[in-house]
Structure 1
Amino acid sequence: MRFTRLRFLILASGLLAGGGCTPQGAPSFPVVGAYFPDWMVCGLIGVAVAVGLRVIFLLTGLDAILSFRLFTYVAMGVIAALTVWTLVFGP
């Protein structure tokens, strides 16, 4: 009895979730003939921003007062990547 109920719930959830998948294609754009996904570009921008901010913080002396350097730079890179994703590729 339990197994039948579980199968029904799995089937029902699959049918209800089926409307979210649309055949629009992957969010990508051509660069020199190859298609690159948008998230990869946003990730590279996030890494570049984190490295750039590290250089700026080292030059200004702010790096010395940071307690969690790795987490700070990762968070700044993620924030930059998500901002680019929202502004450029968002709805």
Structure 2
Amino acid sequence: MMGSYFPSWLIGIALGIPLAAGVRLLFIRAGIDDHLPLRLFIYACLAIIFALVFSFLFSPR
């Protein structure tokens, strides 16, 4: 943890989970959710991707 910017990834996680939930609602409305295999894995990966993108974009360099 030495040298990491703690608030950046913490905020990324806090925003990644609701964003993944929002994508899930969009998928349900579009009818895509019924055809997804391993839904939990897909939505967890989406939350991680959103968190990493936010962390990368807003971390101090």
Sort the TM-score into its range (normalised by shorter chain).
0.7 to 0.9
Larger RCO: Structure 1 or Structure 2 (Cα < 8 Å, ≥ 6 residues apart)?
Answer: 2
SS at match of 2:37: coil
Residue 88 (str. 1) matches residue 61 (str. 2): no
Q: How many residues align?
A: 60
Residue ranges of structure 2 left out of the alignment (5+ in a row): none
Measured after TM superposition, the shift of residue 70 of structure 1 is 0.2
Structure whose residues are more often strand by fraction: 1
With over 3 angstroms needed to count, the CA separation of the structure-2 counterparts of 1:90 and 1:65, relative to structure 1, is farther
**Alpha-carbon distance in structure 1 between the residues aligned to 2:28 and 2:38:** 14
Write out per-residue CA displacement over residues 12-46 of structure 1, whole angstroms, 9 at most, x where no aligned residue: xxxxxxxxx57xxx736xxxxxxxx2222110111
Larger radius of gyration: 1
- Report the AA paired with residue 23 of structure 2: L
Would you identify which runs of 4 or more consecutive aligned residues in structure 1 move more than 4 Å?
none
Residue ranges of structure 1 left out of the alignment (5+ in a row): 1-20, 29-36
Percent sequence identity over aligned pairs: 30
Residue 27 (str. 1) matches residue 5 (str. 2): yes
- C-alpha RMSD of matched pairs (Å): 1.9
- Report the AA paired with residue 61 of structure 1: G
